[in-house]
Structure 1
Amino acid sequence: MIRPGHLTAHQVAKQLGISLGAVRLLVHRGQLKRSGGTPRQPWYAVADVAALVVKRQHSNAA
């Protein structure tokens, strides 16, 4: 069971409109931090994902 305030990698990918591989790249590049879960099934904080969505929207609008 996932803790409240967190998303799975699948949920993050859906929110951002990207693949799971792209989610892993964001983590590798330091643009998204894991905040729980296991090495095979990490969780990500909703606030971190929301900030990334806003950042991506601003860069796409420019």
Structure 2
Amino acid sequence: MQYTSIPPGYLTTTLAARACGVQPATIRDWVRRGLLRRAAGSPRHPLYDVDAVMAAKLAAKPSRPGQRATR
């Protein structure tokens, strides 16, 4: 399902990834880790609140052994 129009204040997974400069898989990982929550949409086509996406981008990410440094 492709959205014909996205409600103001929401982003799709792809748009959220572009806004943060990451891959869509990273957005899904943030959801899995609890850094970001789905705000609307369906389970297969979630929408995220713009403010929540920006907060998740700035949130401290837990490090794991073997994880590449981003900065």
Q: Per the shorter chain, which TM-score range? A: 0.7 to 0.9
1:48 aligns with 2:52: yes
Normalised by the length of structure 1, the TM-score is 0.78
Q: Indicate the SS of the match to 1:14.
A: helix
- Give the distance between the partners of 1:7 and 1:33, measured in 2 at CA: 12
2:37 counterpart of 1:28: no
Instruction: Using structure 2 for the length normalisation, give the TM-score.
Output: 0.70
Aligned residues: 58
Unmatched tracts of structure 1, length 5 or more: none
Instruction: Please provide the CA RMSD for this pair.
Output: 1.8
The runs of at least 4 aligned residues of structure 1 exceeding 4 Å deviation read none
Question: Which consecutive residues of structure 2, in runs of 5 or more, have no partner in the other structure?
Answer: 61-69
**C-alpha separation between the residues in 2 aligned to 1:50 and 1:27?**
13
More strand by share: 1
Match of 1:18 in 2: 22
Kindly indicate which of the two structures has a greater share of residues assigned to helix: 1
Q: 1:52 deviation in Å? A: 2.3
Same amino acid, percent of matched pairs: 36
Q: 2:8 aligns with which of 4, 10, 16?
A: 4
